[in-house]
Structure 1
């Protein structure tokens, strides 16, 4: 019980892996944000509730990141190196899913849920196997932060908020896509799972 309530011991390599990964994710986000070709925005249908989901997801990340750290593991120990490897894999998965999804979406990508006059139903790239790869990637980042910081209590508190915010965004995005593409979207949703290929 103490291990769940108190911060778990962590190693500096895991913190370094997380810091490098977060810098990489921010760089990827800025790259996608500023390279997106803005066209057809005048007739966009924008969700007003999507922003609430973003704030809830952010609150989940905040809870996971908050609290003291216990960097007591020896840097070269198996536990410390193992943590760093886990963090690097999770952060790499997040960045990879984000970049591949944003590339597939092209000018469809945006922070808030919306469809445009020339919106495409993207079913290629990572969308061929899951419908919301960016949220799967963000969940991987949440786990990476909990691992690097040793904040399992923060994960227990933050995960429900992250899941709630994600669900709000998913519902809003899928409603917009269904309204835009109708049966074409229904057929796509029937064969492709939301977050994990063939499972969930």
Structure 2
């Protein structure tokens, strides 16, 4: 088995694990009443971009090898690094869901009895779910030895992040007021101690 194939298998297993982590939270979230949502066209564009870049395009590449013209030689060190980064992404993803519990939603929503979560990964960054997507995109870039499929995750993440994060923070400020502003002052957005 080639190094490139190992990277592709690790990527597929990572995507399966991502879905296995998310599914029970998605089911539970449907049972909690939404009291406010700020969904918009730009949010849908961001979510579709992330799905396309982190799952659909690389999945198509892994299944078909297209676009093969963008392939480059895979290396064992890149696959090993990509595996570690993707595993870290899944750990942050799981921890973020666990901490949010009933507050979690895929779109920008405030749920009944919503509370401000500032424990676990939320003690370091305000948006660890985005941190996990950034890490997934980085992991994908190392796992898939293809300039298009490998980098698509980072591009999809960037579109989602820049279209959505400001709206999400505005929503949280409107809902939690000074409590959220204080939280913003002591945490970074997605990279602990940096940004």
TM-score (norm 1): 0.80
1:131 alignment counterpart: 126
1:33 alignment counterpart: 26
Distance in 1, Cα, partners of 2:95 & 2:8: 25
Q: Deviation string for 1:12-36 (max 9, x for gaps)?
A: 2222221221111111111221244
The alignment yields a C-alpha RMSD, in angstroms, of 2.6
Q: Which runs of 5+ in 2 are unaligned?
A: 62-66
**1:116 shift after superposition:** 2.3
| 2:163 equivalent to 1:168 | yes
Aligned residues, how many? 185
Q: Is the 8 A contact 2:85 2:139 kept in 1?
A: yes
- Within a 5 Å distance, the mapping from 1:47-66 to structure 2 comes to 47-48=39-40, 49-61=42-54, 62=56, 66=61
Structure of larger gyration radius = 1
Distance in 2, Cα, partners of 1:40 & 1:111: 14
Distance in 1, Cα, partners of 2:152 & 2:8: 21
Q: Which runs of 5+ in 1 are unaligned?
A: 1-8, 74-78
| 2:12 equivalent to 1:19 | yes
Distance in 2, Cα, partners of 1:156 & 1:105: 29
